[in-house]
Structure 1
Amino acid sequence: MDRRTFLATTGVAGVTGLVAAAGTLPAAAAARGRLVRSPDELQTAIGHAVPGSVITVADGTYELTAPIAVTGKRGTCDEPIVVRAESVGGVVLTGAQSFVLSASSDVTISGFAFCGQTSTFDVPPDCKRIRLTRNDFQLADVEGLHWVMIRGDQTEFDHNEIHGKSTLGIYLGVEGAGADQMAAGVRIHHNYFRDHSFPGDNGGEPIRLGVSPRALSTAGAVVELNLFERANGDPEAISVKSSGNTIRHNTIRDSLGGIVLRHGNGTRVEGNYLLSGQNGIRIYGNDHLVVNNYLERISGSGVVLGSGNVRDHYPGEPPKSRTGNDAPDRVRIALNTVLDCGSAVTGESHRTLPPLECAVTDNLLVADNGQLVNMPLQDGITWSGNIHWGQGADGNAPAAGFTRADPLLAAGPDGVRRLTAGSPAIDAASRSYPEVATDLDGDHRTGRAADIGADEYSPRHAKYRPLTSTDVGPHAR
């Protein structure tokens, strides 16, 4: 590591605001700092850090010959310890390894560009409330290397960009302690995942929430407001292999990958945009809610309600059984808009265990080609209130479960096709949804009944829309 100038400050008020800003520290904070003129002095500054300390690294490129240890450092929720670049992206770290965390909590690492590291950036289980924000990750393009692994509770991963992998290995994984636990309360938001070009058919996920032995562990992760573009390393852009998660308001565009509930139970998939890709939303496991999603021009199926080779996963299950597909039970697919996909809603027949007590209700399905519905195993599914439109065939949708009517859609400035005045979808839902307070746009579901599809008709400006690269990543507001 070549010699650069570092600035360490302690006891600076308003740390959260400092981290969020793209520029340098305010003058008052800088005036209270001290210069650190070598890597050893930087390590010493970290060693002396206390709650509220802010350590700022001067802009430059640094080749690390040894990792930067953050050991036994404990900030507080109100006064985290912050290690930050002088300007966002202005500090480039090269070398085999960057920061190594252990036995620490309430630590923020912000604004760095991690380039070419051959070791995973790890947040271990003995760390809590670690925040990685406004960083750029482009680690070594090494076969089998996972770039970031979160195993500590309440980690926040936000406003990062992670890109440029062509080999086997995931961008961001969430696991936990031991062999079967998940980190609790992880939040992943406003990140830009792009350009994973691994040509294999498995193992290049941008986000993987768990693995099969951890399927029954309740993670409670929230994955929201992230953008995925050209995520082509795996059919699963967001791969869920744990329980109790929330996947909402993400945009997946021009990608092989979709959202897949592969293992686990009780996950909510809400208000996501899947646009011009190859895979939509695929579902296994129990008690999921898939609601308010907008899928357009998916070359495969918009929504797949899977079948299983096991009925339910259970504690103590043999490893081989745990890797099997859990047939869906009590899954609700409701109030989604699926437009111009290869098929709108489909199932599977290559596994023998069918869905049970599932419901496909009040969805808006439109296409001019192919089949809207192809569900080979229907005995365990209830259908009601769906609207079909276009030249696409109805397929084997039960006649009592849909109406053919023009939903009167019109594209807005963001390209999203929403209901217009007089649409037969307005106030027409077949059942009530007390657990669904808002629609795709963030508008309240109002009226005597919800509107069919992801959009609740409203003249108001949409709170949510498909994300672009200016909405996410290190330089987003």
Structure 2
Amino acid sequence: MKKNILITLIFLCSIKITFAETYKVKTLEDFKSIAEKLVAGDKVIIQNGNYTNWFIELNNKGTAEKPIIIMAETNGQVVFSGDVERTIFKITGNFIYLQGINFKTCVLKKAEKSTGVLIELNGTSNCKVSHCNFESNVVKSQFMPLVVISGNGELNKIDSCNFTSNVDNQDVQIKVTKESFPLNTKIIHNSFSFKNKVSWKNGNGGECVQVGQDPVLLGNQTPKTFVSENTFTACNGENEVISNKSSGNSYTKNHFKNNDGELVMRGGHDCIISDNSFEGGTGGIRINGTGHLVTNNKITGIKTAIRLMYGMAKGKTKTGFYISASNCKITNNTISNADTGILVGDSKNADWTGKFDVKKYPSPVLQNVQPFDNEIYGNHFKNVKIEILKQ
């Protein structure tokens, strides 16, 4: 019996008992001093105030039951501003939640060996950014995002954040490369609003949500991003309010109001576009690629509600700067107060000579492959001059 008691005592002494801690920080030095110590269940409270010149990386590991929470003392009263040349919050761990932070009037720049980003989830799994505010931030180089999800992580979430009046930027970017991309990211319950036209000469780089960057060579990558229950109001940054450039993604239950732009399948295949509503503005849904399902959307007050585009090539294996819309199902959509409900065959014979790098993208330059094998049925039209136009 004495032997058993001794073994039990040795076992108990060998167990490292840890308890969740709550830390309050006021300076970057405060935060860095405790960053490496953070364990599952810990909470870091950033005290209310204005902050500049922050950059911190968190590679800690929380759990589903005990995430590590980084939060504002009071939602919206922890304000980051000023010049940003490095990532303010770079998260590379798991189950880390960032919440309640306000990023306002930040100026994002590229430095010699770094780029200004407000938040990056890099290679993370089960991390979440929630109830953060991004207002009147400006980028100084084209194609710079405020929030990036990158690397080979999964199940990350951008939830209940507000993006408003940001300038010349992309708001949320899902980074897709040949080597890596995050799986099953959720962008849900966010608000995007009052985004003016970008100042860049070619008019690109002002998306609210961009899923993939190279639709020509990497459009077949399948990050399976889920974009749902967001609102987009007066988002006029560029022609693509949402830019899909990869495969297997879902866009559901979003509301678009008075935007100068469209929900665009710029590249990629096999995406779901369902149960969205569009009210006013210049565009609804634009389709390139194969195998998309476009269903149960409600579109009103838009000149042309749904566009199926010509391409330079067809299918999933041919290289084309644009891929012709094919094998898509356009069904059970409700379209009202439009000139054209569904246009089959837009941008016919558009000539892209000199407009893209044919060495990088060995594609024909003429957009002359018409949409084909698409199923269009069961749609509902009200006060539409031409319900379905084929050209």
Q: Please, what TM-score do these two structures have when normalized by structure 1?
A: 0.66
Change (3 A) 1:265 1:33: closer
Partner of residue 96, structure 2: 107
In structure 2, C-alpha distance between the alignment counterparts of 1:346 and 1:37, rounded to whole Å: 56
Task: Give, in angstroms, the shift of residue 127 of structure 1.
Answer: 2.4
Cα drift, residue 128 of structure 1: 2.3
The structure 2 residue matched to 1:86, chosen from 44, 59, 73, is 73
Q: Show the counterpart of 2:324.
A: 327
Matched-pair contact (CA < 8 Å) for 2:121–2:127: no
Q: 1-side partners of 2:74 and 2:26: how far apart?
A: 18
Q: How does 1:171-320 map to 2 (within 5 A)?
A: 171-176=171-176, 178-179=177-178, 181-199=180-198, 201-211=203-213, 212=215, 213-299=217-303, 301-314=304-317
Tell me which protein shows more strand as a share of its residues. Answer: 2
One-letter code of the match for 1:127? T
Q: Find the counterpart in structure 2 of residue 386 from structure 1.
A: none
Whole-Å separation in 2 of the counterparts to 1:295 and 1:221: 23
**1:372–1:60 distance in 2 versus 1, CA, 3 Å:** same
Task: Name the structure 2 match of 1:73.
Answer: 60
- The amino acid that maps onto 2:48 is D
Aligned to 2:11: none
Residues 373 and 69 (structure 1), Cα distance of their counterparts in 2 relative to 1, 3 Å cut:
same
Mapped to 2, the partners of 1:38 and 1:288 lie a distance apart of 49
SS in 1 for 2:281: coil
* Cα distance change on mapping 1:160 and 1:360 into 2, 3 Å: same
What are the residue-to-residue correspondences of 1:18-167 with 2, within 5 Å? 33=22, 35-36=24-25, 38-64=27-53, 66-70=54-58, 72-95=59-82, 96=84, 97=86, 99-115=88-104, 116-118=106-108, 119-138=116-135, 139-144=137-142, 145-152=144-151, 153=153, 154-167=155-168
Q: Give the Cα separation in 1 of the matches to 2:312 and 2:295.
A: 26
Q: Contact (CA 8 Å) 1:335, 1:362: kept in 2 or not?
A: yes
Deviation at 1:77, TM superposition (A): 2.2
Asked whether the equivalents of residues 151 and 175 of structure 1 are also in contact (C-alpha less than 8 Å), the reply is yes
Indicate the SS of the match to 1:147. Answer: strand
Deviation of residue 223 (structure 1)? 0.2
Q: Separation in 2 of the partners of 1:155 and 1:33?
A: 24
RMSD: 2.1
| Partner residue of 1:338 out of 335, 340, 365 | 335
- Quick one: structure 1 residues 171 and 35, their matched pair in 2 at CA, closer, same or farther if it must change by over 3 Å? closer
Unaligned runs of at least 5 residues, structure 1: 1-9, 13-31, 377-477
Q: After superposition, give the CA deviation of every residue in 1:319-370 in whole Å (9 maximum; x if it has no partner).
A: xx45x111122100000000012310102233321222211100001225x4
Look up the equivalent residue of 1:137 and give its one-letter code: F
Residue deviations 1:396-442 (CA, integer Å, cap 9, x gap): xxxxxxxxxxxxxxxxxxxxxxxxxxxxxxxxxxxxxxxxxxxxxxx
Residue 155 of structure 1 and its aligned partner are, at CA, apart by: 1.7
Q: Give the direction of change, closer, same or farther, for the CA distance of 1:51–1:239 in structure 2 (3 Å limit).
A: same
Normalised TM-score (structure 2):
0.80
- The DSSP-based 3-state class of the residue aligned with 2:126 is strand
Q: Distance in 1 between matches of 2:102 and 2:26?
A: 21
Deviates more, 1:206-215 or 1:332-341: 206-215
**Residue among 370, 373, 382 paired with 2:388:** 373
Tell me if the contact between 1:57 and 1:85 (Cα under 8 Å) persists in the aligned partners.
yes
